[in-house]
Amino acid sequence: MNLENAVKFHSPKSPQFTDSPRATASEALTGTDVMGALGMVQSRSPLGFSAFNGKMELSENDKKNAIRLLTQHGLKHCGKVAALRKLETNIKLKVVQTLATFAFSSWSRSAATPGARCKDCKGTGRACNREVTERTGVFTEKDCDRCGGIGFNKLPAASVYRALSSHVTADQWKKGVTQFYESLITELEKSENHANSMLRLVTTSFEEIN
**Distance between terminal CA atoms of the chain?**
15
Q: Which whole-number Å values give the CA distances from 34 to 27, 140, 143, in the listed order?
A: 13, 43, 37
Q: How far, rounded to the nearest angstrom, does the alpha carbon of residue 52 sit from its chain's CA centroid?
A: 6
Per-residue pLDDT of the chain in tens (210 residues, 90 and over written 9): 889 888 877 664 544 444 444 443 334 677 788 888 899 999 999 999 999 999 999 999 999 999 999 999 999 999 999 999 999 999 999 999 999 999 999 999 987 888 899 999 999 999 999 999 999 999 999 999 999 999 998 899 999 999 999 999 999 999 999 999 999 999 999 999 999 999 998 888 665 555
The three-point CA angle 205-207-210 to 5° equals 110
What DSSP letter does each residue of 51-93 carry, written as one string? HHHHHTTS-HHHHHHHHHHHHHHHHHHGGGSHHHHTS-HHHHH
Q: Which whole-number Å values give the CA distances from 72 to 99, 146, 179, in the listed order?
A: 12, 34, 17
